[in-house]
Structure 1
Amino acid sequence: MEIDGSESVPSFYGKELRFQRERAGLTLEQLVEGSYYGATYLSEIERGQRSIPVDLARHVDRVLKTDGYFERRCEEVRRARIRGHADYFQRVLKVEPRAEAIDEWSPTLVPGLLQTEPYMRALFDADGTKPPEEVDIMVDGRLGRADLIEPRRTAPELWVVLHEASLRMEVVPPERMADQLDHIITLARRRRIIPQVVPWRAGAHPLMQSNTRLMRFGDAPPIVYTESPYHGVTVDDPGVVKRYQRAYEMLRAVALSPHETLSLLARTAERYRKGKLPACAPRARGARGGRDKAAGHRGGR
């Protein structure tokens, strides 16, 4: 098997993992036996959809007798994770692994932690100015962050509220959009996230004008992070944080229930696959230009 070194870091080492596993004559199930991970999770790593966690890398090295190769590669993925984000997002990168709970609101796009690789690559490449190698670094960084919500004792509870607009905006071709929605459904069914969708009919509601992320910790006060296309702000003033928390609670109250949300996601994915694009509310004047500006930034969301 030929390994392409120009690929993203998770994709490169995913292919190497598959090569080593098949050379050893092992199935996915056989390789994960004795670890805390399942065959589906390992398959996603081999396809470059996830980076490999350190504990699984050690298990793989032990079974495949690869002399610590995959554990060492985890450090490269960690460096790519930091390198692929804007300076203003560095504080979030440092504190989010310690969060007990993360509440996130995204009015226009699928949040970064939930994005598939084709979706995030389309966003990073939207303004047409970034060279391919820079886009690769940014994709690697965002894929690395996705390990934050993988099953482990310290994984935060992630509650995500999306607007229905984010489901119906074709950031990638229809089949890829269906895959993106299926990915959110899978995360929800695996109890990695709790998703809700604010429907078109909800009308005016809190936090309409900005992305918002609230992070709560067991050993520190909560903080809020908000972001615009080329700038992000971390808020730790207790009074302001409290206002954001109340607004987020009101936002959840106007959203569909998690069960209704999964049904909507499944219906929308099916319509994408059948070529019956979801009917959207009338596009506001100038909406496309606003989307193009917002899509290509390199922050964390």
Structure 2
Amino acid sequence: MPARKDIDGSVSVPAFYGKELRWKREAAGLTLQATVANSFYAPSYLSEIERGTRRMPLRLAIHVDRVLATDGYFERCCKDVQKAKRGGHAEYFADVAEMEQHAETIEEWAPMLVPGLLQTEAYARSIVRAAMPRASGKEVEEKVNARLSRAELFDGEDPPEFWAILDEPLLRRRVLPAERMAEQLEHIADVVKTTHSILQVVPETSAAHPFMMGMAKLMTFTDAPPVAYTESLHSGQLIDYPALVKEYRQSYDLLRAAALSPEASLALIQEAAEDHRNGKDRDRLGHRTVA
């Protein structure tokens, strides 16, 4: 359990919220353990919320209001805290970026774009600029830096176990000039190897499979229930309802079975990188016919 320390509520909105939470809890004479009892969250999770390093999930806020008899205060303030500005991430993704830092496992299905944790700076900038064509250079760089900083979790003392499944066409999609695309694909392979992560590719010859409708991310934690996350063009949905998370888990497990082995997948990524460098990706696209 982290050592107790004073909280400066002026540092940020989450810190102010957390300081108030600790004051109410201690005024009620309850320990962290007693406060989270029957909530599926660990005392360490609540401790980090009190210190402003983690955001309060709505489900836990409702539980805390009931235990502390605070008349819905923490539930009402929860959404305001979630909206507080957070380092360049879209509002709908900010909670996910924070959860990544505490995850025990992260599993992703990426049918269209390279996952953010595996993107190079050039790739990230190209994607951000495409999504925000009217944004200023400062806005673009803020979002690029926020995206790249997420990968720092791999450098922590206890990084999450990472598993990604990519769709083969995204390896061929020319998001960048050929040389930069080759560098992006080689970066994926390097990260996977150096972090002892697992990566699979679903071949374009694959038949129908789960998750044909869009991307998904699954995360598990040592001190909180698992969650799933899905995203579309300008919105995302964080899912913590246990039955629905279980369905996403089952679909992801089936997707693994449809994908190539990790060894074959890395070989395919290397092949795609060489194709970009040698111009074979252009030849491949040029020989395809459009129905």
Maintained 8 Å contact 2:215/2:230: yes
What's 1:293 paired with?
none
Q: Which residue of 2 aligns with 1:173?
A: 177
Partner Cα separation in structure 2 for residue 82 and residue 194 of structure 1: 29
Hey, what does 2:115 align to over in structure 1? 111
Paired position in structure 1 for 2:237: 233
- The CA RMSD measured in Å over matched residues stands at 1.8
Counterpart of 2:41 in structure 1 is: none
> Residue 219 of structure 1: which of 194, 199, 223 is its match?
223
> Against the structure 1 CA distance between its residues 245 and 130, is the aligned structure 2 distance closer, same or farther, given a 3 Å change threshold?
same
- C-alpha distance after superposition, 1:153-212 (max 9, x if no partner): 320001000000110100001100000000011112213421100000112110111110
- Partner residue, 1:157: 161
Runs (4+) off by over 2 Å: 278-285
Cα pair 1:96 1:215 within 8 Å, conserved = yes
Q: What's the secondary structure of 1:200's corresponding residue?
A: coil
The question of 1:201 aligning with 2:217 is answered no
2:154–2:195 CA contact under 8 A, matched in 1: no
1:71 alignment counterpart:
none
Q: Which residue of 2 aligns with 1:95?
A: 99
The aligned residue for residue 289 of structure 1 is: none
Please state if 1:190 is matched with 2:205.
Answer: no
User: How many matched pairs?
Assistant: 204
Question: For 1:120-135, what aligned pairs fall within 5 Å after superposition?
Answer: 120-127=124-131, 128-135=133-140
Which residue does the alignment assign to 1:248?
Answer: 252
Conserved in 2, the CA contact under 8 Å of 1:206 and 1:248? yes
Q: CA deviation at 1:284?
A: 7.2
- Which deviations, in whole Å up to 9, do the C-alpha atoms of 1:20-73 show, x marking residues without a partner? xxxxxxxxxxxxxxxxxxxxxxxxxxxxxxxxxxxxxxxxxxxxxxxxxxxxxx
Distance in 1 (CA, whole Å) between partners of 2:200 and 2:123 is 20
Contact 1:222–1:236 under 8 Å retained in 2: yes
CA contact (8 A) 1:82 1:93 kept: no
Question: Comparing both chains, which one has the higher relative contact order based on Cα–Cα distances under 8 Å and sequence gaps of 6 or more?
Answer: 1
CA contact (8 A) 1:149 1:158 kept: no
Partner amino acid for 1:103? E
Q: CA deviation at 1:262?
A: 0.8
Contact residue 103 and residue 158 of structure 1 kept, 8 A: yes
Query: Secondary structure of the residue that 1:221 maps to in structure 2?
Result: coil
Q: CA deviation at 1:283?
A: 7.8
Distance 1:205 1:199 in 2: 11
Give the one of 137, 143, 147 matched to 2:152. Answer: 147
Aligned to 1:49: none
Deviations 1:232-285 (A, max 9, x none): 100001100000000000001110111001100111111111122162595878
Q: Which amino acid aligns with 1:129?
A: R
**Secondary structure of the equivalent of 1:209?**
coil
Aligned-pair identity in percent equals 45
Q: Choose from 256, 273, 286 the match for 2:277.
A: 273
Match of 1:85 in 2: 89
CA distance in 2, matches of 1:284, 1:208: 21
Aligned to 1:137: 142
TM value normalised by structure 2: 0.67
* Consecutive unaligned residues in structure 1, runs of 5 or more: 1-80, 286-301
| Structure 2 unaligned regions, length at least 5 | 1-84
DSSP 3-state at the match of 2:195: coil
